[in-house]
Amino acid sequence: MKTIHIRQSFLGERSHELFTGVRIGVVGLGGGGSHIAQQSAYLGIGHFAFFDPDFLDFPNLNRTVGATLADANAKTPKVAVAERVVKSVNSDAEVWAIQTEWQKDFDSLRACDAVFGCLDGFSQRAQLEESCRRAMIPLIDIGMDVHKGDPYSISGQVVVSMPGLPCFRCVGFIRAKDLDEEGRRYGVAGGNPQVVWSNGVLASTAMGIFVQMLAPWCPIRSGSRFIGYDGDGFTLEHDSRLTVASQTQCTHFTSISDLGDPFWNP
């Protein structure tokens, strides 16, 4: 174990080997994903696949961890910023910086051991979950919302989609009516207000859940698969919807034909 990781040795003798050997995918390197990239690097993760077609600009500088004024001026690709952050901590890390929509590089996504979804919109989340389930990849989704009102209100969630266990639809995180409403709207559902501190809380929680998946330091609590964030009261709680779904099998991803490549050709 490298000296820089000595303080996390309580995670087990094999933890460093595990972190070094896994590949994580981070889909979306904006407000949430940039935190994930940074923390993963510090943790000692050895292999990364970053997906984002977007680039730094002044409107997104307020929350993209690791980005600088120079990046906003130069319109540096977000994946390049994330790669730089990782390499500045671990020069041995392997980074696939994929500056395109994740849907254009399924091969790279499928090579991941776990994926963090840091996207806007239910349709994107549903598609990412379907692709991860096809490749039997655990997906940890994070997201925050600023609700317009008088006063404004901040909330968010961390939701885990683990193959074999209830999915986003099972726990009511993704609903048909949300997908329908989004589908009828023109263009993408992005551009929501975002702030760095809430993204930080959610990303850190997601990282903790990921570490527990890999190198649990205590018994895993089943409730830690759907965590709701109250950004006004600064609390994180297990979402009660998970309790309802936790006793049931997933009813959406059940068929053998939903695994693998439907157009397989050697």
Partner 1 sequence: MNVHFKLTVALLGGIVADLRRPHPFAAERAGFIGCKVSRCRDGLLVLAHTYMPLPDDWYADDQRFGCVFNSHAMRAAMQFALTNDASMFHVHLHDHKGFPWFSRPDIRESARYVPDFWNVKPMLPHGTLVLSADAAAGLCWYPEINKPIRISRITAVGFPIRFLGGSF
Partner 2 sequence: MATEGELRELDPLSGGAKEYVEFGLTYILLPALRLPNGCSPVAVDALLCLSQRDGYPTRLFFAQPVASKNGLNWNAQNVAILQRTWFAYSWNYVASGRPIEVLAQHLKALR
The site for partner 2 (CB under 8 A) is made up of 101, 103-104, 106, 123, 127-128, 130-131, 134, 179-188, 252-253, 255, 257-258, 261-263
**Closest distance to partner 1 from the beta carbon of 264 (Å):** 6
Q: Which is nearer to partner 1, 68 or 108 (CB)?
A: 108
Q: Which is nearer to partner 2, 101 or 232 (CB)?
A: 101
Q: 161 is in the binding site of which of partner 2, partner 1, none (Cβ under 5 to 8 A by kind)?
A: none
- What gap in Å lies between CA 85 and CA 1, rounded to an integer? 21
Q: Which is nearer to partner 1, 108 or 155 (CB)?
A: 108
- What gap in Å lies between CA 52 and CA 245, rounded to an integer? 32
- Among the listed residues 137, 138, 122, the one whose alpha carbon sits nearest the alpha carbon of residue 183: 122
Q: 175 is in the binding site of which of partner 2, partner 1, none (Cβ under 5 to 8 A by kind)?
A: none
- What gap in Å lies between CA 33 and CA 38, rounded to an integer? 9
Question: Widest CA span of the chain, in angstroms?
Answer: 58
Q: Which is nearer to partner 1, 204 or 212 (CB)?
A: 212
Binding site for partner 1 (CB under 8 A): 14, 17-18, 21, 96, 107-108, 110-111, 113-114, 134-138, 162-165, 212-216, 220, 222, 256-257, 259-261, 264-266
Q: 163 is in the binding site of which of partner 2, partner 1, none (Cβ under 5 to 8 A by kind)?
A: partner 1
- What gap in Å lies between CA 88 and CA 245, rounded to an integer? 42
- What gap in Å lies between CA 178 and CA 4, rounded to an integer? 45
> Contact 158/209 with Cβ under 8 angstroms?
yes
